[in-house]
Amino acid sequence: MIIIIKILILKWCIIIKISHEVVQNEKIRTIVNSAYEDKEFISLMKGIMMESIESNSFYKEFAIKEKFNMDDLNQIEDLALIPFITTTTFKESTGMFKELLKIPLESPEFKTWNVSSCTTGDPSLVGRSLDDLEFLASMTIKCIYEFIPIPMEEHNQYGTISMNFSPNVTFLNRIAMRYTDLRPVKLYTSTLNEITTKITKPKYLIKFFIFKAFKEIIKRRSLVGAFGINAKYVIKTINKNSSKPDDKQKNISIGGSLQLLNTFMNKYLKEANINFDLPDSYITTGGGGWSGHKSQLKYPPIEKTQFVSDCIEFFGTKIENITDMYGFTETPIVFGSHWSDKYQNFIFHCPPQARIIIRDMNTLDPLRNVGDKGFLEVLTPFGVAASLNHAVLVDDLVELVSKNKCHECDYEGDTFIVQGRIEDKEGLGCSSLVEWI
Ligand SMILES: [Zn+2]
């Protein structure tokens, strides 16, 4: 059922400030709580360029080859002159991931390798320092606070019941061990999941069913089919909350894998004929997978308008409470969104800690007009201490929606729509979703 969708215009009058309780690291807290005007941003990018050239011989040569000249970097358009690294360069098969490091592996600053989720094939490996991980965590929290419209004071386990369509962090990290022999390693997805525990205590809904496990071992000699969604928990928890007096009820926040959430609505809830009425519920997906093509995993595509109307139909959620988050292993920036009635899509917003460039898919020249479509490049001077990821080009096709400000919510910065990953192109990426299920 496609319904006519009306979105409330959200105005970003409230400036989100992350507190000391959530992010203890003062340096990083100051960065995420600051707005960076173009001039300051360019100056910081110059700094990170200088540092990258000095600390990494590969980048030094690359910058010479690209004829990069620091003096050319003056205006915001000049950011396109910065030699960028493609996400493909971080693939394990290229053997380049160690060359992309700016700090020695044995240095105390080096913390872990973040690995993208790929069941088979070729994951990305991005070296991160403790500060890089702290920044990634803080940007994710900023994105959650800014784009999931739960009142900030209720955004914790006392005000919100949080359920995540994902296995728990320990399990995810065990999966990461299967992707690569490199150590220490952590799945990018599990890093993001771990971050949410700083503000809330989510219940992970992917469960191991012991009787199913026996059956699967006998039938298929595999345990994969022994995992399933803990649907009973969701129903019980929601009903228990709804039975309480209005002032005692908590918000319901549902997040995690798009595909699992979609399955839960269209298989489980539909077959059981369950429709909740939860105007104070919030639904957040992340990691993409709309096209039905998620690295090696294939399933029917999920139509965004249909998904949004399903969330409203099955959970009773308000349209402005449905958000999608976008990020990929190679950048520490996470982009938040809201639904757009006009575009029938999620509009993503570039935070002040980063800038984006859309590049032509063939020539890689920067495209500057609203409506232009191309590959996405993300630039940031923050959270990139360990690796060369201050300017990363990802093979996702995006469309530029507005420059400098969102016309729908007034959030400052460029906005874009993600059209999906470029299939059949060399260097097909793998971003952040559990796709083994
Ligand atoms: Zn907006």
Using an 8 Å Cβ cutoff, are 90 and 52 in contact? Answer: no
Give the three-class secondary structure for 233.
helix
| CA of 214 relative to ligand 1 center, distance in Å | 49
Q: What is the pLDDT of residue 226?
A: 63
Q: Residue type for 254, please?
A: I
Show the beta-strand stretches assigned E in 295-344: 297-298, 322-325, 336-340
| CA of 236 relative to ligand 1 center, distance in Å | 35
- Per the model's pLDDT, the better-predicted residue between 222 and 127 turns out to be 127
Give the three-class secondary structure for 225.
helix
Q: What is the pLDDT of residue 421?
A: 64
| CA of 412 relative to ligand 1 center, distance in Å | 9
| CA of 76 relative to ligand 1 center, distance in Å | 21
Identify the CA nearest to 192 among candidates 238, 241, 133, 235: 133
| CA of 352 relative to ligand 1 center, distance in Å | 14
Identify the CA nearest to 418 among candidates 250, 280, 289, 313: 289
52-66, 131-145, 216-230: segment of lowest average pLDDT: 216-230
Give the three-class secondary structure for 304.
helix
Mean pLDDT of 196-210: 81
Q: What is the pLDDT of residue 191?
A: 81
Q: What is the pLDDT of residue 8?
A: 43
pLDDT confidence bin for 63, thresholds 50/70/90: very high
The predicted-structure confidence for 279-329, as pLDDT tens digits, reads as follows: 999 999 987 778 765 544 556 788 999 999 999 999 999 999 999 999 999
The predicted-structure confidence for 340-383, as pLDDT tens digits, reads as follows: 999 999 999 999 999 999 999 999 999 999 999 999 999 999 99
Number of alpha helices (DSSP H) and beta strands (DSSP E) in the chain: 11, 20
Q: Which of 1-15, 107-121, 190-204, 233-247 has the highest mean pLDDT?
A: 233-247
| CA of 335 relative to ligand 1 center, distance in Å | 11
| CA of 309 relative to ligand 1 center, distance in Å | 20
| CA of 70 relative to ligand 1 center, distance in Å | 34
Q: Does residue 430 have a pLDDT over 70? A: no
| CA of 138 relative to ligand 1 center, distance in Å | 20
The predicted-structure confidence for 383-429, as pLDDT tens digits, reads as follows: 999 999 999 999 889 999 999 999 999 999 999 999 876 553 333 33
Estimate to the nearest angstrom the gap between the alpha carbon of 120 and the chain centroid. 21
pLDDT confidence bin for 435, thresholds 50/70/90: very low
DSSP result, 348-403: EE--TT-EEEEE-TTT--EE-STT-EEEEEEE-SSS-SSBS-SEEEEEEEEEEEES
Identify the CA nearest to 136 among candidates 36, 39, 31: 31
| Residue 125 backbone phi and psi in degrees, to 5 | -125, 115
Question: What is the average pLDDT score of the chain?
Answer: 87
| CA of 75 relative to ligand 1 center, distance in Å | 25
| CA of 406 relative to ligand 1 center, distance in Å | 5
Q: Does residue 179 have a pLDDT over 80? A: no
| CA of 369 relative to ligand 1 center, distance in Å | 18
Mean pLDDT of 240-246: 96
Q: How far apart are CA 382 and CA 36, in angstroms?
A: 12
Architecture of the 26-421 domain: 3-Layer(aba) Sandwich (3.40)
Look up tokens 């990305």; give the residue.
Answer: 124
Mean pLDDT of 66-78: 97
Look up tokens 């959430």; give the residue.
Answer: 261
Q: Does residue 7 have a pLDDT over 50? A: no
Q: Residue type for 366, please?
A: P
Residue 286's CB is within 10 A of a number of other CB atoms, namely 27
The predicted-structure confidence for 166-178, as pLDDT tens digits, reads as follows: 888 888 777 777 7
Q: Does residue 183 have a pLDDT over 60? A: yes
| CA of 237 relative to ligand 1 center, distance in Å | 32
Using an 8 Å Cβ cutoff, are 82 and 68 in contact? Answer: yes
Stated pTM of the model: 0.90
Using an 8 Å Cβ cutoff, are 322 and 339 in contact? Answer: yes
Estimate to the nearest angstrom the gap between the alpha carbon of 141 and the chain centroid. 11
| CA of 405 relative to ligand 1 center, distance in Å | 8
Q: How far apart are CA 149 and CA 176, in angstroms?
A: 32
Using an 8 Å Cβ cutoff, are 155 and 173 in contact? Answer: no
Show the beta-strand stretches assigned E in 119-250: 125-129, 160-165, 185-187, 203-204, 206-208, 227-229
The secondary element (H helix, E strand) that includes residue 367 is: strand 366-367
| CA of 9 relative to ligand 1 center, distance in Å | 8
| CA of 407 relative to ligand 1 center, distance in Å | 7
Q: What is the pLDDT of residue 223?
A: 55
pLDDT confidence bin for 214, thresholds 50/70/90: low
Estimate to the nearest angstrom the gap between the alpha carbon of 232 and the chain centroid. 28
- Per the model's pLDDT, the better-predicted residue between 119 and 255 turns out to be 255
| CA of 344 relative to ligand 1 center, distance in Å | 13
| CA of 347 relative to ligand 1 center, distance in Å | 6
In order of 299, 334, 338, 349, 426, the CA distances from 146 in angstroms are 31, 12, 10, 10, 35
Give the three-class secondary structure for 295.
coil
DSSP symbol at 124: B
pLDDT confidence bin for 201, thresholds 50/70/90: confident
The predicted-structure confidence for 110-156, as pLDDT tens digits, reads as follows: 999 999 876 446 889 999 999 999 999 999 999 999 999 999 889 99
Q: What is the pLDDT of residue 106?
A: 94
Mean pLDDT of 326-336: 95
| CA of 11 relative to ligand 1 center, distance in Å | 8
| CA of 408 relative to ligand 1 center, distance in Å | 5
The secondary element (H helix, E strand) that includes residue 59 is: helix 57-65
Q: What is the pLDDT of residue 174?
A: 78
Q: Does residue 208 have a pLDDT over 60? A: yes
Domains in the chain: boundaries: 26-421
| CA of 319 relative to ligand 1 center, distance in Å | 14
Q: What is the pLDDT of residue 150?
A: 93
